Amino acid sequence: MQTVQAAFKNADKEALIKKYLHEYPATIDDFDDGLTVGEAKDLIQKQLSEYIDRLRNIDIKQPKDGCQDWIFYVYHCSDDEVPTARVALSRLSDLREKGVAAEEYGYDFTEQAKLMGYYVADNKLTQHYLDELLVEIMYEASFFGFEQEDLQDELDELARRKKEISQGKAIPFDEFAKKVGFTELDEFSPLEEKYLEKVIAYQIKILQNSKLTEIKQILAA
């Protein structure tokens, strides 16, 4: 298995930039008012090119025990009756022990230097959607800036909120909803709810079957 960083080094940079902008198009609010449309396009492409170079060349921060256990992989979910790639991050040890019940983890709060050392699965579906997987990582790993310049501030804020919750200072949801002006949303009828439950149940079966199939391929490699 190759690392995420190796996958970025082997990928076509221009193809990644094109896919990224297709999945996550820039908006007018992302740029200064004085820029023309052409200048804005050039700027975002330059930023993404430099971002990919950063991920390709950043020094990997290895686990303290030297044993890399994190792996990215892809399996199918259903989106409007069309098979769609779902990018997942799990511990390899969990895949071995728990199979389809293995936990999946978010990684937007993870340092880019750590992410680049994680593995990318060799199973057929993951390799088929490799560019999509890398684009997803690009997006999540830049949630707090291309160089994660805002990451520490967000981690500090997260720690502050956890402390408030532990001290019982968190605002109850009902009170929060009134404060921000939430209103009641439209709801399905009871019969529609029953149909929806069936749809969700079949979607879960598709997801679990695909995840189990891909995990077996990963562990067999």
107 is in which domain, residue-wise? 2-162+202-220
pLDDT recorded at residue 196: 81
Q: Residues in the chain, how many?
A: 221
Whether residue 101 is predicted with pLDDT greater than 90 in this model: the reply is yes
The pairs formed by 48-51 with CB atoms below 8 angstroms and a separation of 24 or more are: 48/16, 48/17, 48/20, 48/21, 48/138, 49/13, 49/17, 50/146, 51/138, 51/142, 51/146
Would the pTM count as exceeding 0.85?
no
Q: Residue 180 domain-assigned?
A: no
Contact 70, 19 (CB under 8 A): no
Contact 100, 216 (CB under 8 A): no
Element (H, E) at 79: strand 70-79
Q: What is the mean pLDDT of residues 121-130?
A: 95
Q: Residue 191 domain-assigned?
A: no
How far, in Å, CA of 204 to CA of 3, rounded?
A: 30
pLDDT recorded at residue 56: 97
pLDDT recorded at residue 189: 85
Q: Report how many domains make up the chain.
A: 1
Q: What is the mean pLDDT of residues 91-97?
A: 94
Q: Residue 14 domain-assigned?
A: yes
Q: Could you report the per-residue pLDDT of 107-125, keeping only the tens digit for each?
A: 989 999 999 999 999 999 9
Q: In what order do the strands lie in the sheet with 70-79?
A: 2-3, 119-120, 70-79, 82-91
How far, in Å, CA of 68 to CA of 3, rounded?
A: 10
Q: Residue 16 domain-assigned?
A: yes
Whether residue 79 is predicted with pLDDT greater than 80 in this model: the reply is no
